[in-house]
Chain A
Amino acid sequence: MRTRPATRALQYAAVVVYLIFLGFPLLWLISSSLKSPQEFASITPSLLPKHANLSNYTDALNEQGLVRGLGNSLQISIYSTILVLIVALPVSYALARFRSRLRPLTNGWILVSQVFPVILIVIPLFMILRPLHLTNTIPGVVIVYMVWSLPFALWMLQGYVAAVPRELEEAAAVDGATRLRTIVSIVMPLLRPGLIATAMFTFISAWNEFFFALVLLQDPELKTLPLVLARFVGAEGQVQFGPLAAASVLATVPSLVFFAFLQRRLTSGLLSGAVKG
């Protein structure tokens, strides 16, 4: 059935409006990063800078250890993502495929773990990590982020595993494939969109996390990006808007690249036609 031109036009209009809605904050951020302090203080703010300049970027890069923070955040986010996927894949497979009395309990616990406020667990966590010499270290933060993201990752992946038709695994078993071979050769390729979505979620959680990093990392060399960005806010709510906007733009770039790289692989419909109905 062909879509009528008027309907098609409306669809395009809706997409454009949605894109503007999504893109405007980023445009505003980039515009702000190029404005002078005088433009920030204008009673009639303009969408685009009148006299664009890069001094905010110079300030941000020179004074706040931004590049080092970017590197630390990137390192921590990538390690956390990899570790979460390594742990979550087999566990979610087991939860989705094996019937057990423990399953509802496990799922319930995963849900409950999500309701604890960070502030409630940060001190006990600190006390546990300290004797292990994991405070003020990148591995310590990676472990915390992994544990923090794992419940939700399990939830996400379980759904994807459940969506993989059992018949495919049965067919592989009939052909003589072992369970491991089935998981590696049949299930994992079909799970790729799920794994990528989970990776995105885990990466962005780690990339944006502030509080654990604040408490666990004291060495200036180890500070993550959110901690560096916080430096642009002073006592009494003073904010260095220009450098903060510039730093935020720079902070957004790696995650945009990461997403651009992954989203092309986030294909859906991979399963359609895999099983004849």
Chain B
Amino acid sequence: MKKVLTALLAAGALVTLAACGGNSNDSNGSGSGSNEKVTLKFQSLAFQKTTVAATKKIVADWNAANPNIQVEYVQGSWDSVHDQLVTQFQGGTAPDIIHDESADITGFINQGYLADISKYLSQETKDAVSQGVWDTVSKDGKVYAAPTLLQSYVVFANSNLLKQAGITATGDSLSWDDLAADAKKLTAAGKYGLGWGLKSPTATMLNLGLNFDAKFFDGTGQDAKATIGDAELEVPKRIHAMAYTDKSIDPTSLTQSGSDVLPGFYAGKYGMIVAGNYVAQQIAEEAPKGFQWEVLPPLKGTSSKQAANPQTLSVPAEGKHIEQSAKFIDYFMKAENLAAVGQGDWLIPTTQGARDAIQKATGGKNGWQQTLASGTELTKAPFQSVQNYPKWKDQIATPAFQEFLANKTDAAALGKKLSDGWGQVNQ
């Protein structure tokens, strides 16, 4: 019997081993001499068809002009990209050019996984991006990624309902007081002035908090302290007041995701919605025929600042071809390239040149004018330098904001929870 079992197991093992003749392809050339031909793997997370096409074109143009530095386009997806990269960094198989977002790579920078590419970026690229955005990808004077595209929170409005209510939203900005007043005007006959998908409220609160100079944190890394005062509670309080005092925000919408409120917006249930600017793409694609919409000027408190969390291109510290990879990234940052990918994904390029190119190409239509304007004030926020922010966000801030937005706690209790909660998670 033992012989039989051994034979069967051996057969299984042999079949398995026979199947193991595949060739691994995880080397990407050798050496990094500038005249030696190298092939770089570029894992792109481009999502929209147009962006994928634009990115592939950038790669093709580069390959045509640089026979010794060939770039291989690899399609990745945003889903679980963090875990994928963690494993690849550990195993030394990360792509030569990594596409991610700054919030995600902060940890990688701290762990030393990414290369400093500052010396390989041209002065033109360095000058084209604002310092506030560079700060999101820099540490101790070193630059670990090139920031490519940004998103901001904007107000979308149903143009017909605005007209009927006699509202004209023009100018460089829209104050929070005006937003509240407009929402009140638009609230009538079972319809709400504003639908706001705040199912995951923390990012919105902290990003828009910069409108009132809200810091939420002092210091960086694990030494950061939570500072929750009037400035930090300003945005939540205003949203709460619109929902429960003015009754101009549909309270149900506060429990929905950003895109869940769109059907109500199209149906005229809400006169306005606040969402990420990229939602414009969805509206343009799926809104009913004849639906008139616009993007209102950027929201403004004491300023129009919002937190910048740009998409990024970076190079692994253990990459074999750091210089060549960074050169490609520098090429990717050219205005016409960033404009092409930004327009495809309906996101805001980090450089003024690319923003101008989109403005020219679109004529500012479909909300582009206001969207591009909202991108000029994006900057690094204190929470982006805080190591345990993700933990605080998931375990403390999100439930606390949700309770507050459900009218179950008051602002004082919210502030206390946010502050005390930081002490619990940052140990």
Q: Which residues of A contact B (CB under 8 A)?
A: 37-38, 40-43, 63, 65, 79, 82-83, 86-87, 89-91, 93-94, 119, 122-123, 126-127, 130, 132-140, 142-143, 146, 179-180, 183, 210-211, 214-215, 218-220, 227, 230-231, 233-238
Residues of A within 8 Å of B4, CB to CB, are 90, 179-180, 183
A41-B262, A91-B9, A234-B78 as given contacts; A134 in contact with B86, CB under 8 Å: no
Count chain B residues whose beta carbon lies closer than 8 angstroms to a beta carbon of A.
Answer: 60
Q: A41 to B77, Cβ gap below 8 A?
A: no
Q: What chain A residues lie within 8 Å of B101 (beta carbons)?
A: 235
What separation, in Å, do the CA atoms of A137 and B25 have in the docked complex?
Answer: 9
Residues of B within 8 A of A (CB): 1, 4-5, 8-9, 11-12, 15-16, 19-26, 41, 43, 45, 47-49, 52, 74-75, 77-80, 83-84, 86-88, 90-93, 95, 101, 151, 257-259, 262-264, 266-267, 269, 276, 278, 282, 285-289, 311
Contacts of B288 in A (CB 8 A): 38, 41
B132 CB to nearest chain A CB (Å): 21
What residue of chain B has the Cβ atom nearest to residue A140's Cβ? B22
Minimum CB–CB distance from A140 to chain B (whole Å) comes to 7
Check if B78 sits within 8 Å of A233, measured CB to CB: yes
Alpha-carbon distance A38/B285, docked complex (angstroms): 8
The answer for the CA separation of A122 and B22 in the assembled complex, in Å, is 20
Contact A123 B86 (CB under 8 A): yes
Query: B83: which of A41, A91, A211 is its contact (CB, 8 Å)?
Result: A211
* Contact A235 B74, CB 8 Å, known A43-B267, A83-B15: no
Task: Say yes or no: A43 contacts B74, CB within 8 Å.
Answer: no
B299 to chain A, nearest CB (A): 18
Nearest CB of B to A192, in Å: 17
Complex interface: chain A residues within 8 A of B285 (CB) = 37
B48–A43 CB distance below 8 A: no
Cβ contact of B26, chosen from A87, A130, A138, A220, cutoff 8 A = A130
Are A136 and B49 in contact, CB atoms less than 8 angstroms apart? no
Whether A89 contacts B22 by the Cβ 8 Å rule is no
Q: Given A94-B5, A119-B83, A123-B86, A87 and B22 touching (CB < 8 A)?
A: no
Cβ-defined contact, A233 with B19, below 8 A: no
State A125–B15 Cα separation when bound (angstroms): 21
The reply to whether A136 and B25 contact each other, CB–CB distance below 8 Å, is yes
Taken together as a complex, chains A and B put the C-alpha atoms of A231 and B45 apart, in Å, by 9
In the assembled complex, the CB of A208 is this many whole angstroms from the nearest CB of chain B, namely: 14
15 A-B pairs with CB atoms under 8 Å apart are: A41-B288, A42-B263, A86-B12, A87-B12, A127-B91, A134-B20, A136-B93, A138-B19, A139-B16, A140-B22, A210-B80, A231-B77, A234-B78, A235-B101, A236-B276
Cα–Cα distance between A218 and B70 once the two chains are bound (Å) = 18
